[in-house]
Structure 1
Amino acid sequence: MSIIISDEILATTRMTPSEMKQEIAVMLFQKDKLTLGQASQFAGMNRIAFQHLLASRQIPVHYDVEDLEQDIKNLQQMGRL
């Protein structure tokens, strides 16, 4: 599915497409609609950078079992576990 955000909306909000994606990702993460991994992917950021974005806004990170399992999977794929 694709979502089209008009240039008018971007101009009105004074945001770049990247900033808009980050704002949507933060909002969905805060509402528990996306996990940390999903939100960071949606925002086009690595997980650490997204966590820094959340921290800069004083938004707590809720790290659940799914996030842990994804981290373990990623570490295994990288040969670090």
Structure 2
Amino acid sequence: MLLAIEDNLVQGFTEQELRTELAIGLYQQQKVTLLQATKVAGVSLTEFALILRSRDIVVDYGYDETEFAKDIETMNRLFPQS
């Protein structure tokens, strides 16, 4: 998809800034997943998560509490603390 926006409406923004803002907006409205938002923004998952964190936006990694508990259990089994 090609999106055309008049230059005077986006004056002062770089293409990267606009892509990031679009991705954040779509993510917050739950129109795209976290992974899809990274593709819209054109950045890595880690970079996008850091951008969201810097704006106090909660990152939903798609885990529910049960899956998270299983992951913690697995990590504790694989990397026991002495």
TM-score, length basis structure 2: 0.72
Tell which structure's C-alpha radius of gyration is larger: 2
**Aligned-pair distance for 1:51?**
0.3
**Aligned-pair distance for 1:64?**
1.5
Unaligned ranges ≥5, structure 2: 64-82
Any idea what SS the aligned residue of 1:4 has?
A: coil
Match of 1:50 in 2: 48
Any idea what SS the aligned residue of 2:10 has?
A: helix
Match of 2:14 in 1: 16
- Percent identity between matched residues is 37
2:61 is the alignment partner of 1:60: no
Q: Deviations over 1:51-71 (max 9, x none)?
A: 000000000011126xxxxxx
TM-score, length basis structure 1: 0.72
Q: Aligned pairs, how many?
A: 63
Structure-1 separation of matches of 2:38 and 2:5: 19
In structure 1, give the amino acid aligned to 2:9: I
Runs of 4+ in 1 over 6 A off after TM superposition: none
CA contact (8 A) 1:10 1:17 kept: no
Unaligned ranges ≥5, structure 1: 66-81
Deviates more, 1:21-30 or 1:2-11: 2-11
Match of 1:79 in 2: none
Match of 1:31 in 2: 29
**Aligned-pair distance for 1:36?**
0.6
> CA RMSD for the aligned pairs?
1.1
